[in-house]
Amino acid sequence: MSVELRAEGLAAGYGKKHVVDGVDLVVEPGRILLMLGHNGAGKTTLARALFGLLAPTAGRVRYGGADITARTPAKNVSAGIAFIPQGHGIFRTLTVEDNLELGAFSDTTRLDERRGLVYGMFPMLRERARQIGGTLSGGQQQMLAIGMALMHAPKLMILDEPSLGLAPQLVEKVMQSVSEINRKLGTTILVIEQNVKASLPIAHRVAVLKTGRKIYDGDPAPLSDHVRLMELF
């Protein structure tokens, strides 16, 4: 079942440093919202506040209508939220298969079924099931991180810059996999990115963050115009 994520006047930062200020955001059930912004715009801070890794200084976070503001990440995972951070977030010294099993730590039922789903979506992971995660390529590690998230059957996925550091052909493959997860499983997805060209085609809706504030929220089509993008950034 798809679930809505909503931020209401969300503000967050680190110590006295104010990074995100008064952001309203809605990730509609079963849809992909793309959050764009330049480096330092506050995208990662916003993602951390949504997931509970960072306590907001103001505003609320709602998930499926329930107030989850500053709720612990562990409780959010149990409620069906998956967060895939920058840098892939895998266990580099463990095998692919072990990583996938750890991805299901919150619910160890139906492991074979979920593993089969991941291997069906990423056949490369099946071929490398006994390989150590840290020896995979950057693109393969990103697919493993997504596979780990899928192992606990999330209703909502938050991906923080999944294209970071990947070769262009691998970026396209990762974006296609995100779109496929949404299309086949109905998962609600928030993708946070700087790579406009690669991420825009998979989005149902786009929000743009600039210096901690939302400056655009709407249809992706107008942002395919380079001039419009330059105006926003």
Low-confidence ranges of the chain (pLDDT < 70): 1-2, 88, 226-230, 232-233
Give the H or E element holding residue 78: helix 73-78
Q: Quick one: pLDDT at residue 199?
A: 94
| End-to-end alpha carbon distance in the chain | 36
Are 180 and 193 a contacting pair, CB within 8 Å? no
Enter the pTM of the model: 0.93
Q: Where in the chain is the domain with CATH 3.40.50.300?
A: 5-80+155-232
Q: Quick one: pLDDT at residue 1?
A: 58
Q: Quick one: pLDDT at residue 222?
A: 85
Burial bucket for residue 155 (CB in 10 Å: 0-12, 13-18, 19+):
buried
Q: Quick one: pLDDT at residue 143?
A: 93
Question: If you average pLDDT over every residue of the chain, what do you get?
Answer: 92
Instruction: Tell me the pLDDT tens digit for each residue of 8-53.
Output: 999 999 998 999 999 999 999 999 999 999 889 999 999 999 999 9
Q: Quick one: pLDDT at residue 233?
A: 65
Give the H or E element holding residue 13: strand 5-14
**How far apart, in Å, are the Cα atoms of 133 and each of 16, 97, 177, 200?**
38, 9, 19, 29
Topology adopted by domain 5-80+155-232: Rossmann fold (3.40.50)
Q: Quick one: pLDDT at residue 227?
A: 61
